Structure 1
Amino acid sequence: MIEEINIPRILISGTGSGAGKTTLTIGITRALQARGLKVSTFKCGPDYLDPTYHSYVTGKTCQNLDGWLMGKEAVISSFLSASKDTDIAIIEGVMGLFDGHSANSEAGSSAEIAKWLGVPTFVTIDASGMAGTFAAIASGMKNYDLDVPIRGFFANYIGSKNHLSILESASTPLKVLGGFPKSYDQSFPERHLGLHSANSEILSAEKLLFWQNLCEEWLDLDEILKIASSAPPLSVTSKKETPGKQNNCKIGIAYDEAFHFYYEDNLNRLKQEGAELIFFSPIRDKDLPEVDGIYFGGGYPELFADQLSKNSVLIEKIKNFASAEKPIYAECGGLMYLSSEIQNVKGEIFDMLGLIPGKTVMSSKLKSLGYVEVHTEKRTILGEAGIRFRGHQFRYSDLLIENEEDSLYSYHIRKRKSEQTTKEGYTVSNVLASYVHAHWASNPNIPKNFLDSCRRLSH
C-alpha cells in the first residue's frame, strides 16, 4: 500500500564550502523555533561536526543523509523517521550543491538528496563585492540541472541593506530571500584541527539570539515557510507493523566529550535488532556497565588523553572485558583509545589501553580524508569473511606499529577514487578497531551480525 506523507522542508545549499550554510541553518532554525514551530534538522554528507551544532540548537539529534554511504531507500527512510511530529525539516547541504562523488557525478551530493526527497532548495552565495555577477552565478546554478528544485537564493557577507536591495533587483532567475551582513565578530570560533563539537561556549545564548534576530530582520521567513510547505508529498510503501525484537543484548556505548561521533542511523539499527544501548563515559565513569559488547565511536581522545589515561580503574575493567573475549568494536577515536598510547602534537605521551598494538601519533596535518569501501578478508565480530560496506575517514593521526603481522589485519580498504587497496581493520581476539567510520546502511546485516557475536560470546 502506497502512503503519501507531507513534510514541509527546505535544503540550504551553497556554491561551496564556507558560503555560510551552517550559520543560516542555525539562524533559521532558531527563528522558526521562536515562532513556536518544531524543527528537525539534517546534514548532507558524512560530517559529524555540523550535526552537533544543529542538535545543540534543537535538542533533537541531527541525522546525516548521505547518498553514497546510505543509498536512496535508507536516505528516505531515515528522513521520514526523524521528521515525525515535526512542523518543518531543515537540511544543510555539503560543500557546493553539485559537489559529490566526482566532478562529473552528483552521487553523494546535496543535489542528489534534493531530488530524492523533492525538497525545495536554496543556494547560498558569497555576495561580497558583487552586484550583476551575483545574478550570473545564480543563473548558472539554477540552469545547471533543472531537475534540482532550486527555489531561491541567499546573499551572504553583504555590505549593507542597500547592497541587499541591489542584489534583490538584479536579474536573478529566482527570488533573493535575503542574506546576512558581514558579522565576523559573531562567527563561530576556529575549531580544533579545523573541527570542534558544539558546546555552550561556541553556541552561547547571546550568539544564538544574534543570528535569530538577524534572520528575522534580514530574511523573508514568511516566503521561506511558504516554499517549504509547497514541497510535494513523499510516497512510501507502508509496511505492516511487526513486534519489536526483544532487547536481549546490552551494548555499551562510549559517550562523552572524548567519544561522541556516531551515525544515529547505526545506533537506531542496533536498537531495531534488539539491542539495549547503555551509555558510559570513559573519562568519568569508574564502572563498566554490565554489557555484552562495547562500541567506541570517534571523537577527540587526544584532547582528553590525560583524563582518559588517569582513569585506570575503568581501563582495567575494559581490559578484563577484552580478556574474557567479549566483543569490542572501535572507530577512529575509539581505535586511538585502544592503542598503547597517544602522542599529541606537543609530543606529550599518554598511556592508553594497549588492546591494539601500536601507538597513535597526532599531526597538525590531515592524514586521510574521504569515502572508502571495506572488504573483510576474514571472519570478525561483524560477520563472516567477504562482507562489504562503506564508510568515511577523517583523521589527523597515524597508528604506528613496530612489528606488523598479517594476522592483525582483517580489512582491505579501497578509497573511492582509487583502485589500490590498503590493509586495515586491526583485530586482536574479539577486538576490532579501524579508522573507518562505517555507515551500516551500506550493509544492514552488520548490526545484526555484531549483536549475534555479542550474544554468542557473552556467555
Structure 2
Amino acid sequence: MDSGSPGSRNARPAILVAASHSGAGKTTTVAILLRALRDRGLTVQAFKIGPDFIDTAYHTEATGRPAINLDLWMMGPDAVRRSFHHFSADADISVIESMGALFDGADGTEEGSAAHLAKLLGVPVVVVLDVWGMTRTTGAVLTGMRDFDPELTIAGCILNRTGSDRHARMVLDALRPDLRDLVVGAVSHQAGLAVPERHLGLVTVEENPAPRVDRDDAYRSAGRGLDVDRLLAVAGHRTTGSADPTTGPTRDAATSGTVGRSAPARARLAVARDAAFCFYYEENLRLLRAAGFELVPFRPTSDPALPDGTDAVYLGGGYPESFAADLAANTALAGELRRRAVAGTPIYAECGGLMYLAASLTGFDGTRHPMTGVLPLDVVMDPAHLAIRYVEVHTRQDSPLGPAGTTLRGQEFHQSRITGDPALPPLFDVTSSDGTTSVAGYAVGNVVASYIHVHLASHPHVARRLLGAALAARGEQT
C-alpha cells in the first residue's frame, strides 16, 4: 500500500509530534524526546514541518545529525515523501515536529497541516497537550483531537507543563480509561527548559547563552517523565534494531529523483557558516553536493579570506544585524567578495546574505555599518516592517540559477527593508501563496541575491546550473 494513502502505515519507525495550538510546548517536548531516544543508543532522525531554521538547529544538536525540513508548499508531496524516506532510511526512529496546531493548514483548511503530512507519510501522531491550569478538561480536548479525523492515527499523548506530580496524577485520574491509555508521559513545568526569544523567533543555538551541557541536563531531567518504551512501541520500533530495509523504499530507491546521490566533487562552494549566517535547508546542501559541489564552510565574521580554491559562494540567512560590527570590521573578506563579483565568481545570497552584500546595514539602534558593497543597496532594520510569506518566483533573465523563466518556491521571513531605489532591474516575478504579485531580487553578473529562502527541492536542476556557472567561470565545460 502506498505510504501516502490515508490510513496506511509507514514502514519505518516514526512518530509525528503535534499540539492543539502554537505555544503548547511541542518544540521543547521534542527536544526532550530526542535526547531521551539518543541516550538509549538509538540513531534518531529529526524532521520539522515547515520552513523553520531555528528548531531544526536544536534538533540537530540533540540528535547529532542534521534535521530536515518537510514543507508541502515549497517541496510538493512527492519530494516530501522522497526526502522523508531518504533521510529516515538509516535511522532507528524518526521524530517529526509539527508546525502550529495539528489540523491547521492554509487558509483554515487541512492543506499543508501536520495532519495532512502525517496521513501523506502514514505516520502516527503523538499529541502534546499543555495542561497548565487544567484537569478534567484535558479529556475533552484529547477526545476532540482523537475523534476529529478518522483517517488520522493519534496514538499517544504527552501531558506538558504539569504543575506537580500530584497535578499529573489528577489529570490522569480524570481521564476515561481509553484516553488514559493514550498518555505516554508527562513533562513538568520547568523554567530552565525555556529557550530565550528575540525578534523573529527563538535565540539560535549559536547564540543561546545557556551552555549545551546545561540544556542536555535539563532535557534529561524532564525526560524522566516520558515512557520511552511506550513511545518506541507507538512508533513501531522493534527492540531488535532498525526497521527492515526491505519493508520500505531502500536508500538507493529513495535517492532517485529529487534527492540524488552525491556526484564526484567538481567545484568548491564556500558556504558562510557562523553565528551570523546559519539558516540553510539541509536538503539544499545535499542537492548541491549531489550536483558536484564540495561544500567548504567559512566565517564572514572573522575569516579574512574565502577558502582556498573557492569556485562559488553561498551566503545563507541568519542574523547579520546582530553581528554587523564584526562583519563591518572584516574589510579583507569584503574586498575579496567585491573582487570575486567583478571577476565573475558565482555568488548566491539569501536574506541575511543579501543584507551582507549591501553597501550598508543600519541596525535597530540606528547605527549604520558598512557591509561588503558588492551590490549598490542600503538595508535598514525596521521593527514596523515584517515580511512573512511563501512565494513562487519566476526568473526574468538568465542567471546562475538557470535561464529566464526558471521557477522556484521558497519563503520570506525578515524585519528589514531596502531603502531608496537601487536602480537595478528585479530578477524575480513573485507570486505569494495568497496570490499577491510583486517583483524581487537582483542579478548582477554572476551575483544573485534576494530576501527569498529558496527550497531547491522545488527545482533540483538549479543546483546543477549553479555548478555549471561555477565551472564556466573558471573556463570549464559542465
* TM-score with structure 2 setting the length: 0.89
Q: Is this contact kept in 2: 1:44–1:64, CA < 8 A? A: yes
- Are positions 1:37 and 2:17 aligned together? no
**Structure 1 residue 403, shift from structure 2 partner:** 4.8
Instruction: State the Cα deviation string for residues 258-293 of structure 1 (Å, max 9, x = none).
Output: 111110101111111111112111112112222221
Q: Is this contact kept in 2: 1:426–1:434, CA < 8 A? A: yes
**Residue of structure 2 in register with 1:428 after alignment:** 444
Structure 2: which amino acid aligns with 1:31?
A
**Greater displacement, 123-132 / 326-335:** 123-132
Q: Distance in 2 between matches of 1:245 and 1:288?
A: 23
Runs of at least 5 residues in structure 1 that lack an aligned partner in the other structure: none
1:122 and 1:265, CA in 2 relative to 1: closer, same or farther beyond 3 A? same
Q: Distance in 2 between matches of 1:148 and 1:432?
A: 43
Structure 1: which amino acid aligns with 2:195?
F
**Residue of structure 2 in register with 1:415 after alignment:** 432
**Structure 1 residue 343, shift from structure 2 partner:** 0.3
Instruction: State the Cα deviation string for residues 309-354 of structure 1 (Å, max 9, x = none).
Output: 1111111111100001221110000000001111000001110112
**Structure 1 residue 299, shift from structure 2 partner:** 0.7
Q: 1:360 aligns with which of 357, 360, 379?
A: 379
Structure 2: which amino acid aligns with 1:195?
L
**Residue of structure 1 in register with 2:115 after alignment:** 111
Q: Distance in 1 between matches of 2:41 and 2:266?
A: 40
- Are positions 1:323 and 2:342 aligned together? yes
**Structure 1 residue 6, shift from structure 2 partner:** 4.2
1:113 and 1:202, CA in 2 relative to 1: closer, same or farther beyond 3 A? farther
Aligned length: 453
**Residue of structure 1 in register with 2:104 after alignment:** 99
1:132 and 1:308, CA in 2 relative to 1: closer, same or farther beyond 3 A? same
**Residue of structure 2 in register with 1:228 after alignment:** 235
Q: Distance in 1 between matches of 2:202 and 2:218?
A: 22
Runs of at least 5 residues in structure 2 that lack an aligned partner in the other structure: 4-8
Structure 1: which amino acid aligns with 2:421?
E
Structure 1: which amino acid aligns with 2:107?
S
| Identity of matched residues, % | 37
**Residue of structure 1 in register with 2:356 after alignment:** 337
Q: Distance in 2 between matches of 1:10 and 1:113?
A: 12
- Are positions 1:215 and 2:223 aligned together? yes
* TM-score with structure 1 setting the length: 0.92
Q: Distance in 1 between matches of 2:111 and 2:450?
A: 25
Give the alignment's Cα RMSD to 1 decimal. 2.4
1:123-272 pair list within 5 angstroms: 123-169=127-173, 170-171=175-176, 173=179, 175-199=182-206, 201-202=209-210, 204-216=212-224, 218-229=225-236, 235-236=248-249, 239=253, 245-272=263-290
**Greater displacement, 378-387 / 357-366:** 357-366
Structure 2: which amino acid aligns with 1:131?
T
What secondary structure, in the 3-state scheme, does the structure 2 residue paired with 1:40 have? strand
Structure 2: which amino acid aligns with 1:206?
D
**Structure 1 residue 303, shift from structure 2 partner:** 0.8
- Are positions 1:437 and 2:453 aligned together? yes
Q: Is this contact kept in 2: 1:168–1:175, CA < 8 A? A: no
- Are positions 1:385 and 2:404 aligned together? yes
**Structure 1 residue 64, shift from structure 2 partner:** 0.8
Instruction: State the Cα deviation string for residues 104-158 of structure 1 (Å, max 9, x = none).
Output: 2x22221122112221211111212222321111122112222222112122122
Q: Distance in 2 between matches of 1:117 and 1:193?
A: 30
Q: Distance in 2 between matches of 1:446 and 1:244?
A: 15
Q: Is this contact kept in 1: 2:387–2:414, CA < 8 A? A: yes
Q: Is this contact kept in 1: 2:132–2:162, CA < 8 A? A: yes
What secondary structure, in the 3-state scheme, does the structure 1 residue paired with 2:161 have? strand
- Are positions 1:284 and 2:302 aligned together? yes
**Structure 1 residue 366, shift from structure 2 partner:** 5.1
**Structure 1 residue 193, shift from structure 2 partner:** 4.1
Q: Is this contact kept in 1: 2:328–2:370, CA < 8 A? A: yes
